Amino acid sequence: MATTTTKTAASLTKRETSISIVIIALMFFIFGFLSWVNATLIPYFKNAFELTHFQSYLVAFAFYIAYFVMSVPSSYLLKAVGFKKGMMVGFMALALGTFIFVPAAMMSTYEIFLLGLFTIGIGLAILQTAANPYITILGPKERAAQRISIMGICNKFAGIIAPLLLAAVLLRPGDGDTVDLQRVIVPYAVVSVILLLIGIWVRYSPLPELNTDEESEEVAVVNSTKTSIFQFPHLVLGAVAIFLHVGAQVISIDTIIPYAQSMGLTLYDAKAFPSFTLTTAIVGYIFGIVVIPRFISQTTMLKAVTILGVALSFLIVFAKGEVTFLGYSVDMSIWFITLLGLSNSLTWAGIWPLALDGLGRFTKVGASLLIMGLCGNAILPMFYGYFADIYGVREAYWVLVPCYLYLIYYAFSGHKLRRW
């Protein structure tokens, strides 16, 4: 067990709280940078290895299935060695995963790239298991969605930069749809070294070890007969909500380049569309920071954005007609995909505090269950790719509709269940 002295969130000084938020914000920036480059890697590998839609989305599958594999072990790792040492282990896994891209590019082997992505996912699973409950309890509960929104801005801002930066390194205007895998080697080698250094820095940073298992007397009484996280319906249903939310979110970002290519754009010209979706997400986060909880409760906001998600999903499937906007002449449906960023921005922030409410000593394991829900990023894009190969890239967006319908259920009533 870790011997480092832990603190409760309430016992932190204002300086310690500020330092904690800054360090966790840096981590969310890194999460976003490494996650959203997949939007460029998917069409990049599809062209390089001549893959089907289904095969290309193995990028997302290999990356995010690691969350399913590692989320619960991550919680036990953090309990055993503490947050800071656990985070260092997570960064080491990230460094190893990005370095694996070097031999993968040298040997031009898709399967080795997938191994690297899986290893990166393992590192992120460890770090997310630590960071999300940390930021959820680091302040008043009614402002949790506001704090998560700030983290979301860091995540999505990195997501805007990452695909464009990677595309600038990997793609050239004259490439068309041809790619050169050797261009991957230098950037991923450099990123590997940087991640290793950040992991060492976090280990020796002023970030305090936080006791996430603290319970008020009232919560302790309520939970006295509980022996398992599966006795908390609002948590289990919240994990399902996370699964569907993140899957829908990654579809809106990782499929938009191939969708733009289906309208006649080259990979080079289509590379900006993931950044448009992430930009609307940042707009949503800023709006949430301003109005939550001063004007709108985080639960009411969750209801609103899930309804918006359903409406936009139907518009993607049914709205047709070419429009010219920002210099692109494309079908209007693609702009409704970018607007899903507004819906997705505040969904995660709304689910987390509702799902972790009242867990007390079960918080770490409960958070790991929610992190396990991130495997939705692995599963749902595969469904999209399967339907895209059979029915078409537009028709495959029907997969979004049941996702948002369930999220509406959780926002209105699922989070209230306290017994099965």
What's the CATH code, domain 9-210+228-416? 1.20.1250.20
For residue 215, the model assigns a pLDDT of 55
pLDDT digit string, tens, across residues 44-101: 888 888 888 888 888 888 988 888 888 778 878 887 888 788 889 999 999 999 999 9
Higher-confidence residue: 131 or 194? Answer: 194
How far apart CA 387 and CA 395 sit, in angstroms, is 8
For residue 3, the model assigns a pLDDT of 46
Burial class (CB in 10 A: 0-12, 13-18, 19+), 228: exposed
Beta bridge partner(s), residue 321 = none
Residue 332, helix vs strand vs coil: coil
| Residue 142: pLDDT band with limits 50, 70, 90 | low
At 201, give phi and psi (nearest 5°). -65, -45
Q: Tell me, what amino acid is at 1?
A: M
For residue 69, the model assigns a pLDDT of 87
Q: Encode burial over 19-58: b for 16+ CB neighbours within 10 A, e otherwise.
A: bbbebbbbbbbbbbbbbbbbbbbbbbbbbbbebebbbbbb
pLDDT digit string, tens, across residues 306-327: 999 999 999 999 999 988 888 8
At 323, give phi and psi (nearest 5°). -130, 155
> Are the CB atoms for 208 and 16 separated by under 8 Å?
yes
Put simply, whether the predicted model's pTM sits higher than 0.85 gets the answer no
Q: Encode burial over 158-179: b for 16+ CB neighbours within 10 A, e otherwise.
A: bbbbbbbebbeebbeeeeeeeb
How far apart CA 354 and CA 207 sit, in angstroms, is 26
Q: Does residue 109 register a pLDDT over 60?
A: yes
For residue 290, the model assigns a pLDDT of 86
DSSP state letters, 344-398:
HHTHHHHHHHHHHTT-GGGHHHHHHHHHHGGGHHHHHHHHHHHHHHHT-TTGGGG
Q: What is the mean pLDDT of the chain?
A: 84
| Residue 1: pLDDT band with limits 50, 70, 90 | very low
**Across 133-147, 170-184, 258-272, which has the greatest mean pLDDT?**
258-272
**Across 155-159, 272-276, 396-400, which has the greatest mean pLDDT?**
396-400
pLDDT digit string, tens, across residues 184-229: 888 899 999 999 999 998 888 877 776 655 555 555 555 566 677 8
Instruction: Sort residue 82 into left (φ over 0), alpha (ψ -120 to 50) or beta.
Output: left
| Residue 2: pLDDT band with limits 50, 70, 90 | very low
At 211, give phi and psi (nearest 5°). -85, 100
Residue 330, helix vs strand vs coil: strand
For residue 5, the model assigns a pLDDT of 57
